[in-house]
């Protein structure tokens, strides 16, 4: 069986420094390598012209700089949203998305292969959890998309495949690399960690005073409906989730974003809008309402009339609310859909 060359992205700065010292090179080489990988975005060791030819050849024999193979890509003819399906070196597949919104360019990245939470409207949940991503695999999604993007990315959201809080250490390590001033230098406020409601992760973010933004997928204004569409609510009840949200905002002095996916006939009534207003009262937050993008006929988006009416009801109560357009609707850009289509075709 052919051996797999180790990815240099798997090495932290201390390991890189130890590598250079071990082969008789000065430790300042580690800073040069780091800058070339993350700041310059080199994809081949031949581009490291600050190194001698023999050192470049040594690095080429010992490490790889990229480990993903691009299996499939699809671009929306409506809004130019681009979805990518990558195959990793062990054969598993993940998705990433580029969303263009004026000057805002968002990279939506995955944190797990599959997801264990089984949210009923989500294609990824049907996969179950296959494994966690390493921090290097999370970072490589950004590196690969940055090379393919029409414009430089401004925002990163952990809203692709998987539940980020169930891969907490790798997610935060990747975010640290992405925001490293000498590396990819993303604004920490522009990196959003999203969760379906894992209270332990929310509390840990607060206690560690993580500099990144937090988004919570609410998707229902009461415990019964939330359990029906998001089974994780049985383990982390809605009232306890809201307590954790209040604790987070009080401890960090930051606003939370509540994501609310509108599903026709499930969470779109006037009573639902009023319950959402009451739930979020006293919590510094913004609310994103998103028409559902699901391949399940039971979970369909409401009409534009219903969406606008829901928006007006919540806005009337002075909530900061945004209707998120259905980016990539016609190319099945919601997480897990391109993966599912690829598996079906295979």
Q: Is residue 1 part of a domain?
A: no
Q: Is residue 189 part of a domain?
A: yes
- How many domains would you assign to the chain? 2
Residue 43 and residue 140 in one domain: no
What's the confidence (pLDDT) of residue 295?
Answer: 84
Residue 201 and residue 330 in one domain: yes
Phi, psi of 102 (to 5 degrees): 65, -125
Residue 231: give its domain's CATH number: 3.20.20.70
Q: Of 17, 44, 64, which residue sits at a domain end?
A: 64
Residue 41: give its domain's CATH number: 1.10.150.530
What's the confidence (pLDDT) of residue 335?
Answer: 58
Phi, psi of 8 (to 5 degrees): -65, -20
Q: Is residue 143 part of a domain?
A: yes
Residue 39 and residue 83 in one domain: no
Residue 38 and residue 109 in one domain: no
244: Cβ contacts below 8 Å, ≥ 6 apart: 199, 202, 203
Catalytic annotation on 95?
yes
Residue 44 and residue 111 in one domain: no
191: Cβ contacts below 8 Å, ≥ 6 apart: 155, 156, 157, 158, 175, 178, 179, 212, 213
What's the confidence (pLDDT) of residue 320?
Answer: 74
Residue 60 and residue 73 in one domain: no
Residue 35 and residue 125 in one domain: no
Q: Is residue 271 part of a domain?
A: yes
Residue 256 and residue 115 in one domain: yes
Q: Of 64, 87, 109, which residue sits at a domain end?
A: 64
What's the confidence (pLDDT) of residue 338?
Answer: 59
Q: Which of 17, 25, 95, 163 is catalytic?
A: 95
Q: Which of 119, 122, 285, 335 is catalytic?
A: 335
Q: Where in the sequence is the domain holding 199, given as residue range(s)? A: 69-345
Please spell the DSSP secondary structure of 10-75, one letter per residue: G--HHHHHHHHHHTT--THHHHHHHIIIIIS--SSGGG-TTS-HHHHHHHHHHEES---EEEEEEE
What is the mean pLDDT for each group of 10 consecutive residues in the chain (346 residues)? 77 95 96 96 97 98 97 92 96 96 96 96 91 98 97 97 98 97 94 98 98 98 97 98 98 96 96 94 93 91 94 80 64 55 56
Phi, psi of 286 (to 5 degrees): -120, 155
Catalytic annotation on 278?
no
Residue 38 and residue 113 in one domain: no
């Amino acid at each position: 069986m052919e051996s797999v060359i180790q990815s240099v992205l798997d090495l932290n700065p201390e390991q890189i420094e130890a590598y250079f010292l071990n082969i008789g090179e000065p430790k300042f080489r580690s800073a040069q390598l780091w800058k070339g990988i993350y700041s310059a975005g080199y994809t081949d060791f031949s581009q490291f012209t600050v190194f001698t030819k023999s050192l470049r050849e040594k690095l080429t024999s010992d490490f790889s700089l990229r480990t993903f193979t691009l299996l499939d890509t699809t671009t929306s003819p409506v809004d130019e949203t681009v979805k990518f399906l990558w195959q990793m070196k062990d054969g598993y597949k993940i998705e990433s998305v580029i969303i263009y919104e004026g000057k805002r360019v968002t990279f939506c990245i995955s944190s797990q292969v599959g997801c264990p939470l089984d949210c009923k409207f989500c294609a990824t949940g049907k996969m179950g959890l296959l494994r966690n991503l390493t921090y290097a695999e999370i970072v490589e999604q950004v590196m690969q998309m940055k090379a393919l993007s029409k414009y430089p990315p401004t925002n990163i959201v952990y809203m692709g495949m998987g539940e980020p809080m169930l891969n907490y250490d790798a997610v935060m390590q990747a975010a640290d690399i992405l925001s490293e001033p000498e590396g990819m230098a993303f604004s920490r406020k522009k990196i959003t960690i999203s969760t379906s409601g894992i209270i332990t992760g929310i509390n840990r973010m607060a206690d560690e005073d993580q500099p990144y933004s937090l988004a919570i997928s609410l998707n229902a204004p009461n415990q019964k409906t939330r359990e029906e569409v998001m089974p994780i609510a049985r383990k982390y009840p809605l009232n306890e989730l809201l307590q954790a949200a209040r604790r987070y905002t009080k401890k960090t002095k930051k606003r939370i974003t509540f994501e609310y996916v509108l599903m026709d006939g499930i969470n779109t009534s006037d009573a639902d809008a009023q319950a959402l207003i009451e739930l979020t009262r006293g919590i510094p937050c913004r609310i994103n309402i998103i028409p559902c993008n699901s391949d399940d006929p039971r979970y369909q988006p409401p009409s534009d009339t219903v969406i606008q009416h829901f928006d007006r009801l919540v806005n009337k109560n002075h909530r900061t609310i945004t209707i998120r357009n259905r980016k990539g609707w016609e190319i099945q850009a919601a997480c897990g859909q391109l993966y599912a289509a690829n598996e079906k075709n295979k």
